[in-house]
Amino acid sequence: MEPPSDPTRRAVRLDSSRAADAQPSRDDVPDRGRPGEPEGTEARSGPHDGRNRQPWYRRRRVVLGGALVLLLAVVLIALWWWHESGIETTDDAFLDTHIVDVSAQVAGQVIGVRVDDNQLVHAGDTLVEIDPSRFRLALQQALAAQQQAQTALGQAAAGVAVAQASLAQATADLASAAATAVRAQRDLRRYQTLRTVNSRAVARTTVDEAIATARSAGARQRAAQQRVQSAEAQIKSARAAVAGARAGIATATAGVGQARLSLGYTKVIARVDGHIASRTVAVGTYVTPGQQMMAIVPLHLWVRANFKESMIAKLRPGQRAIVHIDACPRAEVRGHVVSIQRGAGQAFALLPPENATGNYIKVVQRVPVRIALDSVPDGCVLGPGMSVEPTITVR
């Protein structure tokens, strides 16, 4: 028979039961050795918090971080687009210059070569010497011909003086003959008048003598006139001889100048500053006029950049450029646009294309752009044909 229930004991048993229900099971106890989770986290959480927790990608911090990353990416893309839209660049670019070919201007044997390959030379330096013996003899002959021409000029000038003296003598004789002829004519007229008045006043023989004297005086006058004309012709001839002698002097002087010039050509001189390249001449070589002996690469270089025709719309002379030179990878050379060629490069080829025949396929053409280098890095070996990559700021 069960003892009667005690209300106080029943309440204690109910409290113990509730406490037991409140104790977590072993499966619910958190692993204290698990890294990254502080103790008491699960103890502070209710038994149903795991089912109500949001996914990690919906958490506020993740959303804010993703938004910031996306905004930063948009800003970077916008900055990259802004930068790329303000520049034009190409890898089809090379250094260029006007190579000076050194050629012989006279024929002869080379007796000296004063430079070597890749040597730096300056304007006025002697490069090659050609045997000058033959040209010295030619100069002496030209000087002798010049002296002969000067002598001929002196003789021609003396002939002019003699002709002028003959003209003066002939003129005087003409004046004397003219005076005699006038007097003879007057005497003849006077005798004829007297005989007309009185036939006995003047003898017939006297009148005949007067007639003969007048005729003789007229003949001497005409002869004197001919001598005057002959003297004048002699003066003209002497003056022509003087002109010929002066022309001979001019010819002889030109010959002397040509001989001196040919003698000077025996020393081949550098015309510009630069480096020697492609030297093919040596001592003992016989050279002829026009034969190339070497080349000089000038120090002044520029960039020949071949941009696509769709890229030159924004290019203008004076725009700044940065040139990356493959031979000097660590150097960034600054420059500026000088000019843009009027026409694509193919239009100036040896055999220009003829697009009016056959099938046609459009190809983007290249237009040469000249870029001047504001400075050249020290210690960098540069020359025409070397590859560069210019970047031009078009904004």
In the prediction, which pLDDT does 265 show? 95
Domains of the chain: 89-98+299-393 (2.40.30.170), 100-128+267-295 (2.40.50.100), 133-264 (1.10.287.620)
Those residues with Cβ within 8 angstroms of residue 234's Cβ, 6 or more apart along the chain or in another chain: 159, 162, 163, 166, 167
In the prediction, which pLDDT does 367 show? 93
Burial status of residue 64 (CB atoms within 10 A of its CB: 0-12, 13-18, 19 or more): exposed
pLDDT along the chain (395 residues), means of 10: 47 48 47 45 47 67 82 81 75 94 95 94 96 95 93 87 81 77 74 68 69 76 78 83 90 94 95 94 94 94 93 90 89 91 85 79 89 87 92 86
pTM over 0.75: no
In the prediction, which pLDDT does 38 show? 45
Those residues with Cβ within 8 angstroms of residue 46's Cβ, 6 or more apart along the chain or in another chain: none
> Residue 141: in which H helix or E strand, if any?
helix 133-197
In the prediction, which pLDDT does 11 show? 45
Residue 108 CA: distances (Å) to CA of 105, 197, 283, 292: 10, 100, 11, 14
In the prediction, which pLDDT does 51 show? 54
Residues 331, 332, 337, CA angle at the centre, nearest 5°?
Answer: 145
CA-CA-CA-CA torsion sign (124, 125, 130, 136):
positive
In the prediction, which pLDDT does 202 show? 63
- Residue pair 156/241 in contact (Cβ under 8 Å)? The answer is yes
Burial status of residue 271 (CB atoms within 10 A of its CB: 0-12, 13-18, 19 or more): middle
In the prediction, which pLDDT does 296 show? 96
Pairing relation of β-strands 93-96 and 302-308? antiparallel
Q: How distant is the alpha carbon of residue 226 from its chain centre?
A: 69
DSSP character string of 15-71: HHHHHHHHSPPTTTS--TT-TT--TTHHHHS-TTHHHHPPPGGGSHHHHHHHHHHHH
Those residues with Cβ within 8 angstroms of residue 199's Cβ, 6 or more apart along the chain or in another chain: none
> Whole-angstrom Cα distance, residue 107 to residue 110?
9
How many CB atoms are closer than 10 A to CB 296? 23
In the prediction, which pLDDT does 4 show? 47
